[in-house]
């Protein structure tokens, strides 16, 4: 399934459930929001998107604690979770997805290699989920493309989960 088909199905499902979505993106630079807003009529579901490429933007727009970024690094599970929760708190969305990773070709390390991406999804009334992806042997374009696919899949997975009352 391509992003157009995936986004169309996701938006239809969110619409049928009465849910609004938000995104918080670092390594994809707005590609998830673009995939969703490529669909005409998406404005009744897609509430807003945050492109927080810099650490300062993560702190200012999503309230990710600078101390967390300093201790764990921007590419980490805890920062991805904080980004998703910050997007949820700073929007009118019911579900927010966040991505942070090393798209390459540079910027990787032994601990955090090129292709490492953390994706988190926060849902009102439920705990935040996280997926660690390792897109090996992929160039920058492919890492970003596969991150969008994985993020849309994570949102879809959250639709069927019950909320905490």
Residues 66-75 have pLDDT tens digits of 999 999 999 9
Token pair for residue 109?
Answer: 């390390």
d(CA 66, CA 141): 29
| CATH number for region 3-159 | 3.90.950.20
pLDDT value, residue 1: 79
* pLDDT(155) > 70: yes
Q: Are 69 and 80 in contact (CB under 8 A)?
A: no
Residues 93-114 have pLDDT tens digits of 999 999 999 999 999 999 999 9
pLDDT value, residue 165: 40
Residues 75-85 have pLDDT tens digits of 999 999 999 99
pLDDT value, residue 93: 98
CA distances from 130 to 39, 98, 99 (A): 26, 9, 10
* Domain residue limits, the chain: 3-159
pLDDT value, residue 161: 77
* pLDDT(8) > 70: yes
């Amino acid at each position: 399934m391509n992003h157009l088909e995936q986004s169309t199905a996701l938006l239809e499902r969110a619409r049928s459930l009465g849910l609004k979505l938000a995104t918080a993106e670092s390594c994809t630079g707005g590609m998830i929001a673009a995939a969703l807003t490529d669909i005409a009529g998406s404005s009744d579901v897609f509430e807003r998107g945050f492109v927080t490429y810099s650490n300062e933007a993560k702190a200012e727009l999503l309230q990710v604690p600078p101390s967390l970024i300093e201790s764990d690094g921007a590419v980490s599970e805890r920062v991805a979770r904080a980004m998703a929760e910050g997007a949820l708190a700073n929007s009118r969305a019911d579900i927010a997805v966040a991505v942070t990773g090393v798209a390459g070709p540079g910027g990787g390390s032994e601990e955090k290699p090129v292709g490492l991406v953390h994706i988190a999804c926060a849902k009102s009334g439920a705990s935040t989920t996280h997926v660690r992806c390792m897109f090996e042997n992929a160039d920058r374009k492919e890492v970003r493309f596969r991150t969008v696919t994985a993020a849309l899949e994570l949102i879809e997975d959250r639709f069927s989960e019950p909320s905490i009352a």
